[in-house]
A and B are shown apart, each in its own frame.
Chain A
Amino acid sequence: MNASELPADSVGLVTPRKVAIDRPLALDCGKTLPRHDLMVETYGALNAEGSNAILICHALSGDHHAAGYHAGGDKKPGWWDSCIGPGKPIDTRRFHVVALNNLGGCRGSTGPGTINPDTGKPWGPDFPIVTVRDWVRSQALLADALGIRQWAAVIGGSLGGFQVMQWAIDFPDRIRHALVIAAAPKLSAQNIAFNEIARQAILSDPDYHGGHFYGQNVVPSRGLKLARMLGHITYLSDAAMREKFGSVLKSGAMGFNYDVEFEVESYLRYQGQSFVDRFDANTYLLMTKALDYFDPARDFGDSLAEAFRRARAKFLVVAFSSDWRFAPARSREIVRALVEAGRDVSYALIDSQLGHDDFLMPLPEYNRVLATYLGRAAAEVNA
């Protein structure tokens, strides 16, 4: 497809850019990054008052390429193209949308794969483990650099939703609306357990080399592949897997070997392999740790409601009925705490089939909720 054939409701061709954050960032781990870079894409124009900006926070494997195409020949648009564009729920005719690759990422922002100025070599495992709070602080520095004092909305699904909550707590005056999608107030023991297996898969791969694999001309592909395969199981519901893959032998007969015999095996192997080609193992480790550490209630006597008392934003919480990774009950914990804190909150439970991944899907009911809510948010800021 060439540029003239891009869909009419697409933001079209987009070019990522690197924003240098030259101010020091004190991290939760105690270290300070004197400077860092963030890869950013923006869609739609910032209005004269600078009041119509929306920040998109990505999940585990996301990045700054949230919508549109980098080149006419791209097979796929950005990861949330179904939701961002002219006339879409996050309407780029009204909003100025900012998407970034978080600190510690592997798509151009400062992270384990970039050069540590102290050593002249890639950071590797020495890159500080960052937290959701660190990301939000880094995003606030980005907002300063872009001249955005207050976001009309901060929006994110899954781990992205964690960042949204943290924004509302840590920078109450800089966010008008918080859209928390398919998230949880913190990880459950089961969530952490899945992350731990993913980490062990990577750490125990001989090609990991203690994280210093960049110089060895290898990547811990087996470990990263296993980690992603495991992750994919948690992104889909049992019913969706059944529907998609069934459990019928591909050849019709048992082969009595360990080759691919079921559809789901080839799916997982394919997903795992394609992930290895685009993702960094150290970043994956760091992201899972940020997930595990997230618990905004920890600083408030383990009371999420106390944490939310600081917030000023209005909240929209969205959950999906078939999501078992961050089930609707977890979203309701968030809603309960917000109500207890007296915050404005709406909550929609979207009837869904796929599972956790549904937050990326263009489900009509989901799109309607987002579009309706954001339509009102746009009117508030004259967008």
Chain B
Amino acid sequence: MAIEDVLSSKGRVKILKILAEIGELNTSRIARRAGLNYATTIRHLQALEKAGLVRHKNFGRIRIFRFNEGNPRARIVKRLIDLWE
């Protein structure tokens, strides 16, 4: 996924900002905080995960997302958000 595709969506940037601020969060709370509907949030999260920026863990039915600290791009994006905010 090209950088312009990742960062051109307001929803995706919002989600990245939330994860940068909170650390780890489940899908519905990300959706609520970002003001997006559940399906859109999932779509964005899948795209971000495909781009290697976020990763998830499952606890039973609960899916918790966080920045993919193992990926250098993710670390840089998080740092950019931290600096910006």
Verify that A and B bind, or say they do not. Answer: no
Binding site for A on B (CB under 8 A): none
Q: Which residues of A contact B (CB under 8 A)?
A: none
